[in-house]
Every structure is written in structure tokens, then in C-alpha cells.
Amino acid sequence: MPVKTIIEPFRIKSVEPIRWTTRQERQRLLEAAHYNMFLLPAADVLIDLLTDSGTGAMSTRQWAAIMEGDESYAGSRSFDHFRDSIQEIFGFRHVIPTHQGRAAERILFGVACKHGGVVPNNTHFDTTRANVEFAGAEAVDLLIPEGRQPALPHPFKGNMDVEALDSLIERVGRERVPLVMLTVTNNSGGGQPVSMENVRQASAVCKRHGIPLYFDACRFAENAWFIKTREEGYADKTPKEIAQEMFGYGDGCTMSAKKDGMANIGGFLCTNDDRLAQQEKDLLILTEGYPTYGGLAGRDLEAIAVGVQEALEEDYLRYRIASIAYLGNHIAAAGVPIVLPPGGHAIYLDARAFLPHIPCHQFPGAALAAELYLEGGVRSVEIGTLMFAAAAQMDLVRLAIPRRVYTQSHIDYLVEVILDVWEKRKQIGGMRLTYEAPFLRHFTAHLEPVKGADA
Ligand code: F0G
């Protein structure tokens, strides 16, 4: 049978209008938002690619499950559905609900980390790093060197450098390492996957030193699809079988259900360690809620119970990964510099290579994000000098694709907008900060274009 176009594996039952604005309006809106994408009203954005977190569309089955939500404080039936669904995929003994991923991180590191501890990860996401540091420990990123070169294609650019892991543990001593973490897929490094072989090797290093291995599992289903399509021996396995095998090498996980949980809010923490689970539940009661709801409504638990299963459906994953690859490959073919290969949830534009005439201290990523909005009403996010200041190793602009929200024609429109901006790249100028908060400045910073003699 000839290969046919990969289509959205759903039809649309409820629509949400999006609003066109004129270029003049967008110019005015940009100025009012001080050129900061976080300060734009969402209603004035045509295609919103700020994040794939909590922005997905739920299915009819999820909405039906929501009506079944049991809002009992303790022993809710919805918790049983939630736990059973998660255990079937993740396999861990204890499942602890939280209001989102960072709450699971805070509880895990709060209980497992001591002052002076060291937590290795392929790459910590920013909330993960902040929670490790808040617990008094050091967060160490041990990505393979290929993962730090945007233009270099590699099938598993999210892999951990397992030799570096081994020597780090030898150097600092195993008693200082409470756990090792693998982020699947690696969001901060371009949404790149981790291979099963790498999971197996990391797990072997951990076992040899007697250290538990945890997953930051936010995009576990997308990672499973990359293993199925790129790693030898997995083509005939289902994404669920792949996820089950992967989690089988670990001792627990943190999860934001706002990503591959297909929900608008929620998360969870899993562990096989009975003693740790008890301490985590005690802390949960203090700040999140009773262990059968953990800061969520019963209906949220139901939506997640259905969502984690739907995220693993083959038709869905085939469409999701193909749609993002289509966007990345089309713009890359025209010369636009992106992180290669295309990631699982987003395309990352390399702003330093896109705008080589703008020095880093004039925020090439923020300038590019502003131009994408001006050109086509597209909202993206800068991950670079504005976000990390001098610590930024790259200046990227992330176009994160919400799950099941935009169709192929939206993606074609995005290609057109990006290529129009690419054509005009030489006319794009740098930006200057006019206000910054003492920490996490990118959320509230004010910027303005650099003009005249300063440029
Ligand atoms: N870990 C990873 C890899 C993430 O990408 C995120 C969130 C979290 C943990 C925290 O989860 O938001 O539910 O508390 N990433 C979002 C993003 C915010 O836009 O990439 P959360």
C-alpha cells in the first residue's frame, strides 16, 4: 500500500476561536508588553507556542471521565483509577499525586537530599535544578557532548554521559549522591530522547554504587516513540511496552501530567522505597493535600488516568512526532538554523546563528521571538541570555507545540511566518533591558529595541 499523508488522528468536537490582529496592532501590543512574550495577553496571540505544558486539548473520553470524578477527601474512587492506570505503565509501588511536576520535585528532593548532596541528571529542567538547590544540594548536568551542539544530528542527543556519571560518583563518594535522574525527553537540550541502551547503562552504574535511579518522566511517551523508531530491536514493541521496560530500570519518577499526562494540571511522584514514600506522604499532607488527592480535584485524577494511556497510542504519537518534524525539516531545508534533529515537543531556533549580527548581550533570542510575534502573531519563548544571563550556553527560541491543538494548516502557516522572518533577518536589531527582577528575570523583564548609535 502506498504511504499516505499522516493526518491528525481525531476530529474536532469543540472549537476555540483564535484572533487575528493587524501588524500595527501587534506593534502596539509588543510595546505595551515591553517586548516580553510573557507579558502579552494570550487573547492577542494567534498561535501560542509558549509552552506544551497544560495547554493540550483533552479527549471526549477524558471529558467523560471528568464527570465520574469522585471528590471525596479520603479514599476517593478516582484515586484508585489514577493509581491503577499509572502503575500499569510506570510499575512503581507508590504513586503520590501532586498539583504539578515541580511539587513532586520539591517533595522528592526535600526528603531525599541533604546539604552537600550531589544530584546528577542528563540536564536538569530549571524547576528541577532550583528544587535540588533549594534542598541544599548541587545539581550536575552530565549530557553527552553531542547534545550541546545544535546543528549536529544524533538519534539520542538526550543521553547521559555514563562514564562521567561513574567518575563523578567515584570522586564525590556514593553517600553524597542520594539519587541519579534521567530527564525523558531532555527539554532543556532540545526535546531530545534518551535511548534504552543509555537507560540500561545508567541503571547499571547506579546499581553498582547502590544509588536509586529516578526519571523526570514528563515526556515519557514521546521518548518511547523515538526508541521505537530509532533504536534497534524496538520496532515491533508498543510504546507502552517500551515505557514499561524503561521504568523497570528505575526506582521512581517525578512527573508533570501537563505534558504526556494530556491534562491541563497535575503531576505525581512514584517510588519503590516504602520508607521514603511514607516521608513523602507526610510532607504531602503538610503542603499539597491528603495522599489520595495531593492538591488535585478528583476529576483531575480521572483526566490524568485516561491521559497517560492516550499519550501512548501509536496513531497519536506518529502524528505528533511527524507534525513537529515537518515543521523543523521544512524550515531547516530553507537554511534556518535549528537544533537538529527536531525534538519531541518543540522546535528550537538557534538565534545566535539566525541573527549573527546581534551580540549575546543584545538578546538575539528575545529579538527573534519579538519578530515572530510581529510578523505572524506567533508566541514563542527565549531560552538563552535573557533567561540564564551569563550562564547561557546557547541562545535558543523554543516553539513548543501543544498536544492535539493545532492542525497541519497551522503548521504550514508557522513555516511561512518563520521563512518570512528568515528573509528579513538582516533588518532585525538587538534589544536592551530596561527593567529586571532580582531572580527569574525573564518572566517579568522589560526590553526595548536598541536604536541608532547604540546598535
Ligand atoms: N521537568 C521538565 C523536563 C519540564 O519540562 C517541566 C516543565 C517540569 C519538570 C516542571 O513541571 O511545570 O508541571 O511544574 N516544563 C514546562 C515547559 C513549564 O514549558 O517546558 P511543572
Q: What is the DSSP string of 1-33?
A: -PPPPP--SS--SS--------HHHHHHHHHHT
Rounded-to-5 percentages of helix, strand, coil across the chain: 45, 15, 40
Asked if residue 296 and residue 428 are part of one domain, the reply reads no
Candidate from 258-267, 321-330, 367-376, 391-400 with smallest mean pLDDT: 391-400
The answer, yes or no, to whether any atom of ligand 1 lies below 6 A from the CB of 343, is no
pLDDT score at 219: 98
What CATH number does residue 252 fall under?
A: 3.40.640.10
pLDDT score at 1: 58
Segment 190-232, tens digit of pLDDT: 999 999 999 999 999 999 999 999 999 999 999 999 999 999 9
pLDDT score at 2: 64
Segment 102-124, tens digit of pLDDT: 999 999 999 999 999 999 999 99
Residue 64 makes CB contacts below 8 A (sequence gap 6+) with none
The answer, yes or no, to whether any atom of ligand 1 lies below 6 A from the CB of 125, is yes
Asked if residue 108 and residue 179 are part of one domain, the reply reads yes
Confidence label for 63 from pLDDT (cuts 50, 70 and 90) = very high
CA of 383 to the centre of ligand 1 (A): 14
Asked if residue 398 and residue 255 are part of one domain, the reply reads no
Q: Residue 7: inside a domain, yes or no?
A: no
Is the pLDDT at 453 greater than 80, yes or no? no
Residue with cell 505572524: 376
Asked if residue 219 and residue 71 are part of one domain, the reply reads yes
3-state secondary structure of 284: helix
Q: What is the mean pLDDT of residues 83-94?
A: 98
End of a domain among 310, 334, 367? Answer: 310
The preferred substitution site among 37, 50, 127 for testing ligand 1, maximizing ligand atoms within 8 Å of CB, is 127
Exposed (0-12), middle (13-18) or buried (19+): which is 171, by Cβ within 10 Å? Answer: exposed
End of a domain among 265, 284, 310? Answer: 310
DSSP structural state of residue 58? P
- List the residue whose alpha carbon is closest to atom 4 of ligand 1: 125
Q: Residue 186: inside a domain, yes or no?
A: yes
CA of 24 to the centre of ligand 1 (A): 34
Q: Residue 198: inside a domain, yes or no?
A: yes
Q: How many CA atoms lie within 13 A of 290 on its CB side?
A: 11
CA of 198 to the centre of ligand 1 (A): 22
What b/e readout covers 374-401, taking b as 16+ CB neighbours within 10 angstroms? bbbbbbbbbbbbbbbeeebebbbbbbbb
Q: What is the mean pLDDT of residues 43-63?
A: 98
Asked if residue 71 and residue 202 are part of one domain, the reply reads yes
Q: What is the dihedral of CA 311, 121, 237, 302, to 10 degrees?
A: -30
Is the pLDDT at 3 greater than 80, yes or no? no
Domains contained in the chain, number = 2
Q: Residue 130: inside a domain, yes or no?
A: yes
Asked if residue 332 and residue 262 are part of one domain, the reply reads no
Work out the angle between the directed axes of helices 126-134 and 101-112 (0-180°, nearest 10).
30
Is the pLDDT at 299 greater than 70, yes or no? yes
The preferred substitution site among 100, 218, 300 for testing ligand 1, maximizing ligand atoms within 8 Å of CB, is 218
Asked if residue 183 and residue 41 are part of one domain, the reply reads no
Segment 418-439, tens digit of pLDDT: 999 999 999 999 999 999 988 7
The preferred substitution site among 124, 132, 258, 304 for testing ligand 1, maximizing ligand atoms within 8 Å of CB, is 258
Asked if residue 371 and residue 250 are part of one domain, the reply reads no
Residue with cell 523554543: 398
Candidate from 53-67, 171-185, 382-396 with smallest mean pLDDT: 382-396
DSSP structural state of residue 427? G
What CATH number does residue 364 fall under?
A: 3.90.1150.10
Residues 45, 29 contacting (CB under 8 angstroms): no
Is the pLDDT at 391 greater than 80, yes or no? no
CA of 22 to the centre of ligand 1 (A): 33
pLDDT score at 394: 87
pLDDT score at 388: 83
CA of 187 to the centre of ligand 1 (A): 8
End of a domain among 284, 310, 336? Answer: 310
Q: Residue 454: inside a domain, yes or no?
A: no
pLDDT score at 115: 94
> What residues pair up with 160 in beta bridges, in sequence order?
143
Phi-psi region of 13 (alpha: psi -120 to 50; beta: other; left: phi over 0): alpha
Asked if residue 336 and residue 273 are part of one domain, the reply reads no
- Measure the CA–CA gap between 264 and 295, rounded to whole angstroms: 14
The answer, yes or no, to whether any atom of ligand 1 lies below 6 A from the CB of 124, is no
What b/e readout covers 201-215, taking b as 16+ CB neighbours within 10 angstroms? bbbebbeebebbbbb
pLDDT score at 438: 84
Asked if residue 384 and residue 270 are part of one domain, the reply reads no
Segment 179-189, tens digit of pLDDT: 999 999 999 88
CA of 101 to the centre of ligand 1 (A): 6
pLDDT score at 338: 97
Confidence label for 452 from pLDDT (cuts 50, 70 and 90) = low
Q: How many CA atoms lie within 13 A of 163 on its CB side?
A: 2
Q: Residue 289: inside a domain, yes or no?
A: yes
Is the pLDDT at 403 greater than 60, yes or no? yes
pLDDT score at 323: 96
Owning domain of residue 372: 23-52+313-449
Asked if residue 274 and residue 156 are part of one domain, the reply reads yes
- List the residue whose alpha carbon is closest to atom 8 of ligand 1: 101
The answer, yes or no, to whether any atom of ligand 1 lies below 6 A from the CB of 101, is yes
The answer, yes or no, to whether any atom of ligand 1 lies below 6 A from the CB of 127, is yes
Amino acid at site 263: A
Is the pLDDT at 454 greater than 70, yes or no? no
Asked if residue 376 and residue 301 are part of one domain, the reply reads no
* Mean pLDDT over the full length of the chain: 96
CA of 331 to the centre of ligand 1 (A): 26
- Measure the CA–CA gap between 60 and 271, rounded to whole angstroms: 31
CA of 171 to the centre of ligand 1 (A): 30
